[in-house]
Amino acid sequence: MAPVKVRKICCIGAGYVGGPTCAVIALKCPHITVTIVDLNKARVDAWNSPDFDLPIYEPGLEDVVRQARGKNLFFSTDVDKGIEEADLIFVSVNTPTKKSGVGAGFAADLNYVELATRRIAAVANSSKIVVEKSTVPCRTAESMRTILEANSKPNCRFDILSNPEFLAEGTAIQDLFAPDRVLIGSLQTPEGKDACEALRSVYANWVPSERILTVGLWSSELSKLAANAMLAQRISSINALSAICEATGANIDEVAYAVGKDSRVGPKFLRASVGFGGSCFQKDILNLVYLSESLHLPEVAAYWRQVVEMNEYQKRRFSKRVVDTLFNTITGKKIAVLGFAFKADTGDTRESAAITLIKNFQAEKAFVTIYDPQVPHAQIWEDLKEASPHLTLEQIQKQVTITSSAVEACNKAEAVVIATEWKEFREIDWQDIHSRMSKPAFLFDGRLLVDAEKLRTIGFKVTTIGRGEVL
C-alpha cells in the first residue's frame, strides 16, 4: 500500500492552533486545498472578513491569510463537506480542563474531540487520515480509532496520527515557518507508517527532513505534555528563586543570567514573572498529574502538581506585595493594571495572571482600571465574570473600568501594575504618567519590563519582581 498523496486537507476547529497552522500549510503548499471548518459562524465570518479583522491576533498571521485566502485556503461552516472532500483531516478542537465529574480540575475534557470523531465517521464515504492536532491525554488516539472503526461505512478505512503543535503564542507564525521540530506519531504498522509518510510529505514542502521526527503514536501524545510540563517547571523554578531574591537583596535577572550561562541549563524560560498563563502549560501539567494518579504514581503526580502550585503562589505573593507596599491597604484606592493578555503579542487571556491579580484587588475593595492593546473589552468582562461567579457583571463594573489607553488607565491612580510585557509599556512617557498619578506614585513591575532606576529618578516608588530593593 503506497502512501496517500494529499491533495485536500480539512481542519476541524478554527482556533489558535488550527487557524494559523493550516493557513501556513496552505501558503507553503499551493498545490494542496486547505479548508478550515468550524460550527462557530461568527468566528468563520471573522476569518473571511473583507478587511481581514481576524478572530486571532498573531504577528504575521494576517499577511499569511491575505496571500492564501480564496486561492487554496478557505474557511467554512460546512463541516460535512470539508470532511467528505478531504484526504487528511486535522482535529484541532478545544480540550479544556474538566470542570465537573471524574477528574474535575485535572483531566482534559475530550467531549469536542469525541464529537468531531463521530462526525467524521458519520460523514466520510472514503478512507481518511485523521490527525490529532489538539493537545490530548496519552492514548486518546486509541479512543478515536475505536469510535471510527465502530461507526465507519464499508470499505472506509481510517488511519490515526498524532501531530502535536509546539507553537508559542506571539511567535506562532515564525514557529510554523521554521519549527524546531515537527513530530508525527503513528502506529508502527505498514498502514500507520504509510499514513505518517503522507503527512510528512506535506511538511517536507518547507521543513528540512531532519526536523521532521516520526515516532510511535503514544510517544507523540506524551511528548507534547512532557515538553510543556518541563517548560513550565523552569518558569516555576525561577519564580521560586525570585521570592528568595526579594528576601535576600539578590537580583533575579543576575541570578538567571549566571545560571543560564551554564550550557547544561541554557537561558530560555528563566525570566521571572508574576506567573505563567495561556492555554497549554497549566492544562497540560494538570493532565499529567491526572495521568500519574490514574497510573497509581502519587509521588509523580505530587511532583508535577507543585509546578502549578508554585505558579499560583507567585500570583498571590505579588498581589500581597502590592497591598503591603501601599501601607497594608488598597481599599478605595485606584490600581491601574497594564496588560490583560497572558503574554505580549497575543490576544489570548486564558489563565492570564492579570485575572488573578484583579480578582485579588477586587477582594481588597480597590478600584481597578485595565488597559490592554489587543484584548477585546467583551473578553475582559467575560473573564472577570468567570473568575468571580458570585458577582454580577454590574457588581464587577462598580469596581473595574476598562480604558482605551495606558494614560487613561493610570490617570489619578495610586499604583500601576505591569501584568503583560507589551512593548508599548516599555516606551510609555512615564514622566507624563507620573504627573497624572496620585502621590506617592507606586509602580509594580511584574514582568521585568521597565528601567527601575530611571523611573525612580522621575519620582516613582518602584517594586520589581525578583529584586530585593528597598523603596
For 116, the enclosing helix (H) or strand (E) is: helix 111-123
Question: Which of 399, 330, 374, 384 has the alpha carbon at shortest distance from 354?
Answer: 384
Tell whether 316 is in a known binding site.
no
Question: Which of 315, 416, 313 has the alpha carbon at shortest distance from 366?
Answer: 416
122: amino acid identity, one letter: A
Tell whether 169 is in a known binding site.
yes
Separation of first and last alpha carbons in the chain: 72
Tell whether 95 is in a known binding site.
yes
| Cα–Cα distance measured from residue 125 to residue 52, given in angstroms and rounded to the nearest whole number | 34
Tell whether 43 is in a known binding site.
yes
Active site residue 245: no
Q: What are phi and psi of 35, to 5 degrees?
A: -120, 125
35: amino acid identity, one letter: T
Tell whether 466 is in a known binding site.
no
Tell whether 281 is in a known binding site.
yes
| Cα–Cα distance measured from residue 216 to residue 160, given in angstroms and rounded to the nearest whole number | 11
> Which three three-digit cell numbers place residue 73?
485556503
Catalytic annotation, pick one of 196, 245, 280, 410: 280
Tell whether 93 is in a known binding site.
yes
> Which three three-digit cell numbers place residue 429?
512617557
For 244, the enclosing helix (H) or strand (E) is: helix 217-248
Tell whether 15 is in a known binding site.
yes
Tell whether 280 is in a known binding site.
yes
Tell whether 17 is in a known binding site.
yes
Pairing between strand 182-186 and 158-162? Answer: antiparallel
State the virtual CA torsion across 18, 172, 307, 113 in degrees, nearest 10: 0
Tell whether 16 is in a known binding site.
yes
| Cα–Cα distance measured from residue 53 to residue 45, given in angstroms and rounded to the nearest whole number | 10
| Cα–Cα distance measured from residue 355 to residue 278, given in angstroms and rounded to the nearest whole number | 12
Distance of CA 18 to the CA centre of its chain: 13
For the chain, helix (H) and strand (E) counts, in that order, are 19, 14
| Cα–Cα distance measured from residue 11 to residue 35, given in angstroms and rounded to the nearest whole number | 6
> Which three three-digit cell numbers place residue 343?
503574554
CB 42 within 8 A of CB 2: no
Tell whether 96 is in a known binding site.
yes
Tell whether 18 is in a known binding site.
yes
Tell whether 13 is in a known binding site.
yes
Per the annotation, binding residues are 13-18, 38, 43, 93-97, 134-135, 169, 280-283, 350
Annotation: binding site for NAD(+): 13-18, 38, 43, 93-97, 134-135, 169, 280-283, 350
Q: Which residues are catalytic?
A: 280
